[in-house]
Structure formats: C-alpha cells, structure tokens
Amino acid sequence: MTLSIAHLGPPGTYAEQASIFYANWLTKNTGMEAILCPYPSIVQTLQAVAQGQVQLAIVPVENSIEGSVTMTMDALWQLDSLQIELALIMPIVHALISCSASLDEVKTVYSHPQALAQCQGWLERFLANVQLIPSNSTTEALQLLKQDLTVAAIASSRAAQLYNLPILASGINDYPENCTRFWVVSNSKAKAFAHLSSTSNSHTSLAFSVPSNVPGALLKPLQIFAQLGINLSRIESRPTKRSLGEYLFFIDLEADTTTSKMQSALAELSTYTEILKIFGSYNILRITI
Amino acid sequence: MTLSIAHLGPPGTYAEQASIFYANWLTKNTGMEAILCPYPSIVQTLQAVAQGQVQLAIVPVENSIEGSVTMTMDALWQLDSLQIELALIMPIVHALISCSASLDEVKTVYSHPQALAQCQGWLERFLANVQLIPSNSTTEALQLLKQDLTVAAIASSRAAQLYNLPILASGINDYPENCTRFWVVSNSKAKAFAHLSSTSNSHTSLAFSVPSNVPGALLKPLQIFAQLGINLSRIESRPTKRSLGEYLFFIDLEADTTTSKMQSALAELSTYTEILKIFGSYNILRITI
C-alpha cells in the first residue's frame, strides 16, 4: 500500500523535510511506502485531505518563536472530518542563500513571514538596509536567485543543496531553541489509519466556541480539566469571525480521549460549549536532523 | 502644542486612517494639533515611541476576522515604558485597486497578509488563478499599479483616491462585520498625556509569564478575576521564545486599574506570575467612516 502525503511546497520547505522524516519512519515501522504531494498553501494542503485527494497532510501548527500558524487552526475548524494522527517536533535552522559574493551585495531578502520574523535580529544587524519581501513558503523565491545576484532567500541548508545554491550565512535564526510542531492529519471518514493508532496517546486537541456575552465563559472549561488533574499544554484563542471580541478556544491536553477521566471531562465540557470539535488523540515524535 | 503620531505607512493605510480620526478628535476635544509620521513597520512604529522620537503611536492590535497582530503584542512585551492611552475600533472595507480594464486581465494581487486573508473567499471565487503576493502594508504596492496593468492591490477606497487609482471592485472582504482594533500608545516616562486621561476607564490590558511546568498555572490568574466579578474581554497566548510549550498570556479586562477591586486582583495576581506587565487602563472610541 502506498500512502499519499500533502505538504506545503515547492520542494525544500521545512514541511517537506518533516514529511520525508515521517515517510521514512512509516516505512521502517509498518512497511508502507509514501509519496509526497506539494501544495501551494497550507489551506490547500488540508483541503486535499478533507476532499480525499490525498490520505494524509503534514502541516505546521506552532513555532517556538513566532507562535501559532493561524491558517492551520482556522482551516482545521472550518473543514470537516479532519483528525490528528501524530505530532512531529522538528528543530529549525535557517540559512541565508544567495548567489552574491558577499553580504554587501544583497539588496533583497525573500522568505515566508514566519522565517523573516525568526531572523529579524540577525537581519537588522547584518542587512539593515535591504528590502524584506514575504513569500508563500521559504522555497518559493529560490528560483529567482540565479538570475539576480542581489537577491537572497532564507530557507534550510537542505533547500540550498536541493536547488544547488550557495549558502552565504547559516544558523541565522535569532533564538537557538527554534523548533516547529507539525500535525499529521488524516480524514476521519477514511478510517484508513486505524491500524497505525497506538493503544495509548499522550495528547488530545480540541476546539470550542462558547455562548456570547457570558462572563467567565472560559473559566468553567478550564476548571473541569483542573479538577480532574488533566494538564493543559496549550491554549490559544482565535476570532469566531462573527464579531470583534468573540473567540474560539483551541486547547491541547495531556491525556487520551479514551480514558474514563477524559470521557467525563468531555461530557461535562459539552454542556458549557456552543460548538465542540475534538480533533483526536496522538503521540509526539521528535525529529532529529 | 503639536503632537507627533507614528503609524504604519506609506500614506493610505488603515492605521493612517485611524490616526487621522484620532488627530481630529484630539483637536476638537483638547485644541491640540497633531502631525502624522509614517514608519515602514509596526515594530519601528512602537520603537519610535519607546525611544522618544514621537509622542504617540497608533498600532493595530486585533482584527475581527484574522485575529491578533502578533508583532504588536511581541513589541509591547519587549519594549519598555509603553502605555496604552485609548483603543480605537474601525470598520474595515477592502477594495480591489488596479489600472486594468477588467478582472480578467489581473495576474497578480498584492496586499498585507491580513488583508489577503480577509478577502480569500472573494479571491478564490473571482481571481482563482492569480498570484497573491504579501506586502508590508496595504499601500506599499500601489506605486506599481500605473506601470503594470496586470497588477492589482487590496487597500481601502480612500487609498485609491489618495493615489488617484481606479477601483475594480469594492466591499470585497468575505465578512461584512470586519473591523480592526487599534491602540493609541504613549511613553509612560514622558507623562505628557496625564491631562488626556479620563477619570474612569473601561478596560485594562496586561500580560504575564508564569513559572514553567506548573500544571494549571493559567487557572489561578483566571480564578482571581472571576471571583472578583471582573470580566475578561480577551485572552491570547504568545510563545516566550525560550522553549516550545512555554507561553506569555495577554489579557484584556473590563475594569479600571484604579478601582480597589482591581488593585487587590493585581496584588494577588503578582504572587502567581513570573513577570507581570500592566499596559494601562483606557476607554474605547468607535470610528465611523
């Protein structure tokens, strides 16, 4: 059986690197082969799974420096039948890639807004007067580099190798502890991955909206988990898009949905929420590069 | 006395529109004149106040569709001596601006990532095959339009007027209830605005970090406010940038710091937090356009 995995492209992105790691891990542990399918945006990557064009998607959720990838959260809330199978945590090391002979010749730097933000201190120190141009992915602008020697891009050193481009500076991220968490997402209707699921999972992710204008509406849900001794590893708010000041809450919990403690917590939670979506339980796999 | 107000430029941005509204309001209510100073990024806008180059900055905090403006929150946490004087809420109506004769001729659309995201449904329906290019502000790309008829930009209809450019489509935001909240920020060391402060304020904003690896660390702060009947109007998490899974929390409360209830809440809060920053109390002004 060959699995198809959607990720943000073009080739050479960090999402592709996470997908390659996962594909190898899959082959080693289950014998299954995987093919990778690059998509031009994160939303299209998740739509491909929701519509059944591919079986899995690997999408960034959160970076330790720049925080949530909001389009992943919004798409997960809006699209139906998406289920998280696994989390991947990958260290991120950025390089400045350019065909120019030295930093002095660089006039423009392209990259994904998250990567530009993760290197802003370095850029202010060494390239204070260049123009920074956000692009859809870290690798989108690499094709421009051979035509124009004054252009540079921030991407992984793996991307430089792949496109046969020189590295002007490496390890340029402002914080050494830079890593990104990805989710491996399947279509819950397909049920193709029941055999992949492990018997116990360390984390559960869910999101909910609460009735508007109820004071302390978030407190009750948090109390339910605290009273049962279930730890929250993350809480994030997103606008409902109905009216300023109305939010959805995304929560990651350190527990498996199948435990009786979680079953009763979720039952109680649903009495306080307007819409409650449970995205599934999963384990975390750390990627070494 | 003439006040200098920093905002995201070039001229024609929504931040400039909010700044003009505020400057007129100021003249009408206090007789003070204001001059506007456009800066190339939100961070530089806030740095200008922190370093005393200008007296006020007007920065976007949150949009009802796309959520928090994370660079505003990060800069507010990192820079010292910033104080919120007032919140402004402005309705946002986007237009597609281009010199091309019809939608069929448009090949590329530029705008700020928040504006592109706020119009993504419209873009998929009417301009499915164009290239979307994020820029630093809604108005940055307007200068390209006269040279290249296949280029369009998303900005306000006011920006189209200002640059004398034609509007191809207006009201193209996906949600009609689109509005952005701005903060008017001063330097707390300057004390220049004590005479502007009203005797009672409706909201207070603060942010804090909690000691790492303490389960339920967020619950206690929320309980303090709930027990005193102080309503939270917003809660947002941002990474500490130290390690994945460590967060700062930004909270907006419906109360004035000067009330005795808030004084005791803040005193109790400080016993549970690692770093606590209080950005000030303020009222909300709604902008009509």
Other Cβ atoms within 10 Å of A32 Cβ, number: 14
Of A134, A177, A179, the CB nearest to B113: A134
The answer to whether residue B193 sits within a structural domain is: no
DSSP code of B141?
G
The answer to whether residue A132 sits within a structural domain is: yes
Least Cα distance to A262 among A238, A240, A229 occurs for: A229
CATH code (residue B219): 3.30.70.260
pLDDT tens digit sequence for A63-94 = 999 899 988 999 999 999 999 999 999 999 99
Is residue B78 domain-shared with residue B182, that is, in the same domain? yes
Work out how many domains chain B is built from and give that number. 3
Other Cβ atoms within 10 Å of B161 Cβ, number: 12
Structure confidence at residue B242 (pLDDT):
85
Contact B216 A226 (CB under 8 A): yes
Structure confidence at residue A164 (pLDDT):
96
Is residue B228 domain-shared with residue B165, that is, in the same domain? no
Task: Tell me which of A88, A123, A178, A241 to substitute to probe the interface with B (most B C-beta atoms closer than 10 Å).
Answer: A241
Is residue A70 domain-shared with residue A106, that is, in the same domain? no
Categorize the per-residue pLDDT at B21 as very low, low, confident or very high, splitting at 50, 70 and 90. very high
Contact B224, B268 (CB under 8 A): yes
Structure confidence at residue B200 (pLDDT):
85
Structure confidence at residue B214 (pLDDT):
65
Q: Is B65 on the interface with A (CB under 8 A)?
A: yes
Mean pLDDT of chain A: 91
Mean pLDDT of chain B: 91
Is residue A100 domain-shared with residue A158, that is, in the same domain? yes
Structure confidence at residue B198 (pLDDT):
67
Task: Tell me which of A73, A236, A244 to substitute to probe the interface with B (most B C-beta atoms closer than 10 Å).
Answer: A244
Q: How far apart are CA B287 and CA B289, in angstroms?
A: 6
Q: Which residue has the higher pLDDT, B133 or B104?
A: B104
Interface of A with B in 223-282 (CB under 8 A): 223, 226, 229, 231-239, 241-245, 247
pLDDT tens digit sequence for B112-164 = 888 998 999 999 999 999 988 888 889 999 999 999 999 999 999 999 999 99
CATH code (residue A162): 3.40.190.10
Helix, strand, coil shares of chain A, percent, nearest 5, are 30, 35, 40
The answer to whether residue B165 sits within a structural domain is: yes
Chain B residues whose CB is inside 8 A of the A44 CB are: none
Place of tokens 């929250």: A232
Contact B232 A226 (CB under 8 A): no
pLDDT tens digit sequence for B209-258 = 988 766 677 888 888 988 888 888 888 899 988 888 888 999 999 999 98
The answer to whether residue A20 sits within a structural domain is: yes
Is residue B18 domain-shared with residue B75, that is, in the same domain? yes
Is residue A114 domain-shared with residue A228, that is, in the same domain? no
The tokens for A255 are: 């527990």
Is residue A183 domain-shared with residue A88, that is, in the same domain? yes
State how far residue B158 is from chain A, nearest Cα, in angstroms.
23
Is residue B277 domain-shared with residue B158, that is, in the same domain? no
Q: With H, G, I as helix, E, B as strand and everything else as coil, classify residue A98.
A: strand
Contact A232 B226 (CB under 8 A): no
Write down the ipTM of this complex: 0.82
Give the contacts of A207 (CB within 8 A, at least 6 positions apart). A73, A76, A77, A248, A249, A250, A251, A276, A277, A279
State how far residue B253 is from chain A, nearest Cα, in angstroms.
11
Structure confidence at residue A220 (pLDDT):
86
Contact B64 A244 (CB under 8 A): yes
The last residue of a domain, from among A146, A161, A187: A187
β A151-155/A95-98 pair status: antiparallel
Range of the domain at A147: 95-170
The answer to whether residue A42 sits within a structural domain is: yes
Is residue A88 domain-shared with residue A99, that is, in the same domain? no
Taking the CA atoms of residue A264, residue A265, residue A266 and residue A267 in that order, the dihedral angle to the nearest 10 degrees is 50
Is residue A42 domain-shared with residue A115, that is, in the same domain? no
**What is this structure's pTM?**
0.87
Is residue A12 domain-shared with residue A82, that is, in the same domain? yes
The answer to whether residue A33 sits within a structural domain is: yes
The answer to whether residue B268 sits within a structural domain is: yes
Is residue A118 domain-shared with residue A154, that is, in the same domain? yes
Sequence-ordered alpha helix ranges (H) in chain B: 14-30, 42-50, 70-78, 113-118, 120-126, 157-162, 219-227, 260-270
The answer to whether residue B192 sits within a structural domain is: no
